Structure 1
């Protein structure tokens, strides 16, 4: 199964929703705590091409976006394909 990394921050409902989707798929998820002002948040911004919100999700190093993006690719079936790689 693919390697999934997700940058989150405590109390974020979008982060929680994204984690629920990924966990329901049985994905092995590396959660990276990235509150504002941390080096982890700066890393997320750099890796995502400038997106400043969380969550930011990467599957096998490929940026797939945030929670809305994850929901979209889940509905299209693309998420299952990405996770199976």
Structure 2
């Protein structure tokens, strides 16, 4: 299993898509709501050329912007 952190925000359809695709496996990831966590928001903007694009998922230290849910699921289940 990889270290997975998901940066998201409420109302984001792409975040909802990812969450649904991950199902119960999604609970294995660390999650940060960028609307409630200023450091998370700044990180997301930093890795996305100043844009607050979510979901941004960090897998083993490498950021992925709006990744394929299969990639994230694979990282979570090994």
Q: Please report the TM-score for the alignment, with normalisation by the length of structure 1.
A: 0.66
Larger RCO (CA under 8 A, 6+ residues apart): 2
Distance across 2 between alignment mates of 1:4 and 1:37 = 17
Matched pairs, number? 73
| 1:37–1:64 Cα change, 3 Å | closer
- Offset at residue 37 of structure 1 (A): 9.0
| Structure 1 spans left out of the alignment, 5+ residues | none
The alignment status of 1:35 with 2:35, answered yes or no, reads yes
1:70 aligned residue: 68
Over the residues paired in the alignment, what is the CA RMSD in angstroms?
A: 2.5
What TM-score does the superposition give when structure 2 sets the normalisation length? Answer: 0.70
User: Kindly tell me: are residues 62 and 23 of structure 1, through their superposed partners in 2, closer, same or farther at Cα, counting changes over 3 Å?
Assistant: farther
Distance apart, 1:5 and its partner CA: 0.5
- Which stretches of structure 1, 4 residues or more, deviate above 4 A after TM superposition? none
Residues 64 and 70, structure 1, Cα contact 8 Å, conserved in 2: no
Whether the 8 Å contact between 2:58 and 2:64 is mirrored in structure 1 is yes
